[in-house]
Structure 1
Amino acid sequence: MRRMRPAPAITARLAGFRGRRAGPEAAVGGAGAGRVLGTWLVVGALAATLVALIVPVTLFPAARPAAAGAAVAPAWSDDGQGVRESAYGPLTALDRDFVRKVRLAGLWEQPAGRLARERGTTATVRAAGEHLIGGHAELDRRSVDTARMLGISLPDRPTDQQQGWLEQIRAAQGADFDRVFAQVVRAAHGKVFGLVALVRDRTGNALVRELATRANTVVLDHITVLEGTGVSGVANAPAQSPPPDPVPPLAGMPPHSDQEMK
C-alpha cells in the first residue's frame, strides 16, 4: 500500500503552528541572553573603574596621601601632660611644644646668624644674618617670658640635629658657606612656618597666641631674606638688592644685644 502524503495545505498549517509555538520561546531566550550580556558589560565596566582607581595607589605609594585627600600636618611633640588651665586660657601640649620650639630656634639660629654676618661673602647673606640675630633675640625673650608666666620648662641648648646644622654651616667656606647657610636655615624655617600657623589657628591661650602672631611675622621675614640671597635653593628667588631692613621689634621690647642668650 502506498504511503499517503499530507496535503500541501495541511503541511503549511503545521509549519505555521510550529512557528507560533517556537516564536515566544525564542523571543524570551533572546531577551534573557541580552540581559545577561548587559549585566556582564556593567560588571566589567565597574571592575575596570576599580582597577583604574587602585592601581596608581598600589604602584606609587607616594601618591597615597593625595589620593586619600590627607594633608601632612606639621610635626609637634606631646609631653603627655594634657590640657592645663591658666589665667590666660587653656594650655595644651601643642601650645607648650610651640613655646619650646621658639626657644630652640633662637638657640641655634642666632649663632648661625652671627656666622653669616661675619663670614658671608655677599651683602644679602650678611643681611640675612642680621635678620636672624635680631628676630630671634626678640622671639627668645618672648618665649622665656611666656614660659615663665605659664609654667613651661624650656631647653637651654639646641637639639643634636640643630647642633649638626650649625656644624655643617660652620664647616663651609667662601661661596659654599653662603649656599649651605641659606639652604639649611631656609629649610628649617619652611618647616616651622607650618607649625606657627597651626598654633595660631588652634590655641585658646592668649599668651601663646600673641607669641605665635609675632613669630609668624618674624619667620616670614626670615624666609624672605634667605630666599633673597639667591642661593637658598628655592626656584625663581633672585638675590635682592639692596637687602631689606630687619623687622623692628614691637613696642616695649628692648633692643637686642649680640651677647644675649649665648
Structure 2
Amino acid sequence: MKTYIMFGVKTFSNQLSYRSEVWLRLLGNFVAILILTEIWKAVLGNGTIEGIGVEQMITYSIINTLLAALLLTGISSKVDNSLKTGSIASELIKPMSYPLHLLSEGLGNSVYQLVFTSIPSLIIAWVFFGFLPPASATHLLLFLITLLLALAISFLLGYLISLLAFWLMNHFALNWMLGGLITIFSGSFLPLWFFPDSWVTVTKTLPFLYLGYLPAAVYLGAIPLQEIATLILTGMAWIAGLTLLVCWLWNRAIKRLVVQGG
C-alpha cells in the first residue's frame, strides 16, 4: 500500500510543475460559474421552480463546476497513451497492480485539484456569487459520502472505457460518448428536479447522477433522507457491479495483449 501512496504523492508533486495552469483553471471556473449564475438569475429571477430559488441554483452550479475537476474520468486518456506508445508493456511487468497504480495517480491528481483549484475557486465564488451552507451537519456528512461514491464511480467508468480501448485501440469516441452521457444524465447542468418524470426514471437507473446531481442535491437538502440512504446503497451496488465488470475485462484484456505481443 505504501508504494501506491507514493505514486499518488509523486503525481501530486509532478502537478506542481504546472503552477501556471492553476491561474487558467481558476479563471475558467470563475467564468463558468459566472455564466451559470447569470443564466439562473435570468430563468428564476426572484421566483422559484419546484421550491428551488436562485441562491440554491448558484450553490448547485458552484458545487458541480468544482466537482468536475475532482472526478477520475480522465484515466482512459492515460491508458490510451500507454497503448499507443507501447509503454503499457513495461508497466504491466512491474511488480504492482496496474489498476491500483492508475487509481493512486488519479487520486493524487484529484488531491492536487482540490487544494489548488477547487478550494480557491470555492472561496472566489463565495465572495462574488454567494454560497449557501449545507442544509445540516447530517447533510454535510452525507455529501462527503456521496463525494466518495462519485470518485469511485468516475474511476470505474473511466477505467472501463480504457479497457475497451484494448480492443478498439482508440478511446476517443468512447470517451466522447462517456462525456456526453455524464453531461446529460449527471444533472450537472440541469438538475433532475427540472427533468420530466420519464427522464428522472431513466436517470435513476444509471450511475451518472452520482457524478453531479446527487452530491449537490444532498448538500442542499433537496432530497429526503430516506431517499438519500436508498441512493447511497444503490451507488454502492453500482460500484460492486462495475468492479466485477472491469476485473473480468481486465483479465480478457491482458490475455489479448499477450497474444498480440507474442
TM-score (structure 2 length as normaliser): 0.27
Larger RCO of the pair (alpha carbons < 8 Å, separation 6+): 2
Of the two, which has the highest radius of gyration? 1
